[in-house]
Amino acid sequence: MEKFDNNQELGVNKDCEKVNFSSLDELRQAVLNLDFHLKKTARHTVFSDGDPNSDVMIIGEAPGQDEDEQGKPFVGQSGKLLNAILSSVGLRRNEVYISNIVFWRPPGNRTPSAEEIAFCMPYVEQHIKLAHPKVILLLGGVAVKSILNTSESISRLRGYCNTYLNIPVIATFHPAYLLRSPCQKALAFRDFILLKKTLSA
Ligand code: URA
Residue 40's pLDDT band, with cuts at 50, 70 and 90, is very high
The CATH number of 22-200, from 3.40.470.10, 3.30.420.40, 3.40.930.10, 3.40.50.2300, is: 3.40.470.10
- Tell how far the Cα of 60 is from the centroid of ligand 1, in angstroms: 5
pLDDT reported for residue 9:
40
* Ramachandran sector of residue 161 (left: φ over 0; alpha: ψ -120 to 50; beta: rest): beta
Distance of CA 105 to CAs 45, 93, 151, Å? Answer: 8, 22, 23
Q: How confident is the model at residue 44 (pLDDT cuts 50, 70, 90)?
A: very high
Q: What is the pLDDT of residues 143-175, one digit of tens each?
A: 999 999 999 999 999 999 999 999 999 999 999
Q: What is the pLDDT of residue 19?
A: 57
Ligand 1: distance of its center to the CA of 149 in Å?
20
Q: Give distance in angstroms: CA of 64 to centre of ligand 1.
A: 6
What mean pLDDT is predicted for residues 131-150? 97
Q: Answer whether 63 contacts ligand 1 (Cβ < 6 A).
A: yes
Cβ-contact 46, 73 below 8 angstroms: yes
Of the candidates 142, 124, 144, the one whose C-alpha atom is nearest the C-alpha of residue 34 is 124
Q: Can you spell out the DSSP letters for the chain?
A: -PPP---TTTEE-TTTT----SSHHHHHHHHHT-EEHHHHH-S-----EE-TT-SEEEEES---HHHHHHTSSS-SHHHHHHHHHHHHTT--GGGSEEEESSSSPPGGGPPPPHHHHHHHHHHHHHHHHHH--SEEEEESHHHHHHHHT----HHHHTTSEEEETTEEEEEE--HHHHHH-GGGHHHHHHHHHHHHHHHH-
User: pLDDT at position 20, please?
Assistant: 82
Asked if 168 and 161 count as a contact pair (C-beta separation under 8 A), the reply is: yes
Q: Is 50 in the pocket of ligand 1 (CB under 6 A)?
A: no
The per-residue pLDDT for 13 is: 52
Using CA atoms, how far apart are residues 166 and 148, in angstroms rounded to an integer?
A: 12
Find out whether the beta carbon of 106 lies less than 6 Å from any atom of ligand 1.
no
Higher-pLDDT residue of 1, 102: 102
The pLDDT of residue 177 is above 50: yes
